[in-house]
Amino acid sequence: MKQSPIDLLQKLIRIDSQNPPGNERKIIYFIRDYLKELGIASKIYEFKKDRLNLVCKLASNNSRKKILFTPHVDTVPATGAWRKPPLSAEIHKGRIYGRGATDCKVNVAAALYLIKKLKKEKTILKNIDLIFAFTGDEETGSHNGIIPLAKHLKGIDYGIVLDSDEFDIVVAQKGLLHLRVELFGREAHGAYPDEGVNAVEKGVFILNEILTEKFQFTPHPLLKKPTINIGKFDGGDKVNVVAGFCFFDIDIRYLPGERDKDIIKCIEKIIKKQKIKYKIKILAHQKPIEIDKNIPAIKILRSVLKKNKIKEKLQPSFGATVITFLKDVGVESFSFGFGSKRNAHVKNESVKINNLNKGVKVLEDYVKKLDGYFEHTD
């Protein structure tokens, strides 16, 4: 298997794993075959047709600790007009272009190449078992990915979610609350609006008050302040009919110390002022996270970055990563990775080749130093 990390990443980018529509079969089979050629067994978990995840293990001599590395293999769709074909994986001025280059196939490639290096050099760690989980469905909520898969990952001591940029160590994350508010008015002829209850009109008043409401919170040193985004508004049938129904979707990112129940109560209070029937549906929810930066898995990573002359950066995640889902099953986790900033989910996505090559080196140094740390540590 004469293949460089660059060749590997190009092959991964050229495998279409856009989500939606969502189908990880081809890329997971590619990873399975790659590992098989190295003599490494793997197990595929399929929680819905064509929604695949793969787990493999490199066992140590003593198995004192289990360390999980998990990148995702799906990407967002390649929409819009690209300068280069989004699945071409072309190289230009030290960067590889293509959908998923940064988010998150550079991390998949680094993890796979680390496995290859350890196997080819016949490196058997003494104390830490390395578990690799290549997951799907991250871009649409992980309901067919890490959420169900986490229940099968037993006895993990630390989880490293390979899904950040520029070697950032993510130690704090906002909570995510996606709500759909449905409003039920009463239809009438558009010439006689007083005879109906206009759900669209009520919705406009409600949204205006939500956006101007001063929610109570304590600023966070990394995460700063909570945010609200109105992502969708739809309702009514035609211009001369009083709208009997509308709905809107809200994306709320909130801080540690805030409670989702209190946020929903505040929104309900605003809605009730308009005296209209309503229903609130929770579309997605992840709790905010703060991670102890002094846990061994982070302290050692910081020392490895320093050794490799990479500036260590403890950063927040304003978006949502799958750290939450690992924490939900009791796994102490943080995020780390090799993407290029401001490249995730954009047209002409790319990643610096230097990040990929350095990433492989950092991962190799990291697992070896972590293995040494646990030589005499329970």
pLDDT, tens digit, for every residue of 166-187? 999 999 999 999 999 999 999 9
Which fold does the domain 175-286 belong to in CATH? Alpha-Beta Plaits (3.30.70)
Q: Which residues of the chain have pLDDT under 70?
A: 1-2, 377-378
The CA-to-CA distance between both ends of the chain, in Å, stands at 37
112 DSSP 8-state letter: H
Taking alpha carbons only, the member of 23, 57, 65, 16 closest to residue 40 is 57
> What confidence score (pLDDT) does residue 321 get?
84
- Which residue spans of the chain are classified as CATH 3.30.70.360? 175-286
- Which residue spans of the chain are classified as CATH 3.40.630.10? 5-173+288-373
> What confidence score (pLDDT) does residue 320 get?
77
* Phi then psi dihedrals of residue 225, to 5 deg: -135, 160
User: Residue 321: CB partners within 8 Å, gap ≥ 6?
Assistant: 161, 163, 164, 170, 173, 335
> What confidence score (pLDDT) does residue 359 get?
98
CA dist 334 and 324 (Å) reads: 9
Beta strands in the chain (DSSP E): 42-48, 51-58, 65-70, 91-92, 95-97, 128-134, 158-162, 169-173, 175-184, 227-235, 245-254, 277-286, 289-290, 314-317, 332-336, 350-352
CA dist 257 and 221 (Å) reads: 13
Spatial contact of 213 and 265, defined as CB atoms under 8 Å apart: no
Q: What is the pLDDT of residues 219-265, one digit of tens each?
A: 999 999 999 999 999 999 999 999 999 999 999 999 999 999 999 99
Considering the segment(s) 5-173+288-373 as one domain, its CATH architecture is 3-Layer(aba) Sandwich (3.40)
> What confidence score (pLDDT) does residue 334 get?
96
